[in-house]
Chain A
Amino acid sequence: MERAHCIEVIYPELEEALVVTIMGASAQELYNLGHRENFFYLQHAMGLASSIGLGLALHLPDERVVVFDGDGSVLMNLGTFATLARYRPDNLIHIVFDNGSLLSTGGFESHTTSGITDLAAMARGAGIPHVITIDSTLRFGEAYVEAVERRELSVIVAKVDAVGPDDYGMDLHLSENAFRFARHIRERKLSRGATAG
């Protein structure tokens, strides 16, 4: 299964969420489907996408937050599983695309290659309430919808092939992305307030 196809399957659902993605292929594949103001691309600081997601989810309980992580990135911040589990926001879905490879930096094998390290088991051991491992695109879409419906902190480990896009590039400056993402969240808050009022 390819990560690009997984992202494509849930892309329509992402409109109502706040999405934080790691650098490299994941960011590019999401961007290639069409940038939206509710997407934040963390192009560096490997490991921190889920921490940003936690900060969003805890302070915006009315929003759904979706994080795209990778095996290489999550291995740089394994403590995140324990911190997520401790505060367990029910509006956070943490998707780990596990391709067993540091693909965006030259394709070296990561520690999860050949089933040596089981990230889902680590997430479960940390105390994440709902953890599932997926290896087909159809099941991935179902698992995402199920995680949304469960309304509890979920980790989806998606075993994907170590392939990425042919070209990289975005017409979006890093700070511009941050400013627009924050502004979009402010506007969503205002429109929610107006609806509630």
Chain B
Amino acid sequence: MTVSYENSKTIFAGIKAAGIRSISALPETWLGPLLQRAEDDADVHLIQVAKEEEAIGIAAGAHFAGERHLLLMQNHGFLAAINGIVSLAQLYSIPLCMLIALRGHWGEPYPWHTRGGIVTEGVLRALGIPFEYARDPQMVGRQIREAYTLSQSSLSPVALLLTRDLMED
């Protein structure tokens, strides 16, 4: 199994078609080709963080600055960012459009990813964060656009879960 180059290209095109030019991220395997595209694109402002919770602060700053911003992270990074999501984004009504690589779920061969994969959906539900699964490359562009729109209209975090079907060939 390798990371899908074609689908990474499609996701990046979807991000740009949604008018997003600012991305915060922490690199991980599935997101690698996507981040490489972001880095190589002179129109896109990519900010890499040391830990995902920082990205919640950066996203808040970008929102205050009036910038269309997107967060890219692995689900374990989402779990590491929860206090920022709750006590900055949700507390202050700040939108977050999060694309989350869903590791440790259906078909996961690596034991170390599994706990995080199994609890991710339950944690999203507990936090009241609306989410969708992205499985189909034909649909993902529209899903990104709609996730962004909902985050802005509801002034809250929204998550699009990038699944194995989409991210691996």
Contact = CB atoms under 8 A, between A and B. Distances in A.
Contacts of B45: 58-59
Given A77-B54, A79-B51, A186-B66, 18 more contacts: A20-B61, A43-B91, A48-B54, A48-B84, A51-B55, A51-B56, A52-B60, A54-B54, A55-B61, A55-B62, A58-B62, A59-B45, A59-B62, A59-B65, A60-B65, A79-B49, A182-B63, A185-B64
B91 A49 contact: no
A40 interface: yes
B83 A53 contact: no
Interface string B40-69: 000001011111011111111111111101
Interface of A: 18, 20, 40, 42-45, 47-60, 77, 79-80, 82-83, 86-87, 174-175, 177-179, 181-182, 185-186, 189
8 contacts: A44-B91, A51-B49, A51-B60, A54-B54, A77-B51, A77-B53, A83-B47, A182-B66
B87 interface: yes
B53 A52 contact: no
Contact of B22 (A47, A50, A51, A59): A59
Contacts of B38: none
B83 A45 contact: yes
Given A52-B60, A182-B64, A58 B47 contact: yes
Contacts, number: 113
Contacts of A54: 47, 54, 57-58, 61
Contact of B88 (A18, A44, A181): A44
B93 A45 contact: no
Contacts of B91: 43-45, 174-175
Contacts of B87: 44-45
Contacts of B54: 48, 51, 54, 77, 79-80, 83
Contacts of B65: 55-56, 59-60, 185
A40 B58 contact: no
Contacts of A185: 64-66
A50 B59 CA distance: 12
Nearest to A81: B50
B92 interface: yes
B56 A174 contact: no
B88 A40 contact: no
B88 A42 contact: yes
B31 interface: no
A50 B60 CA distance: 11
Nearest to A42: B88
Nearest to B46: A87
Contacts of B88: 42, 44-45, 48, 52
A59 B47 CA distance: 11
Contacts of B24: 55
A59 B93 contact: no
B94 interface: yes
A85 to B, nearest CB: 10
A191 to B, nearest CB: 14
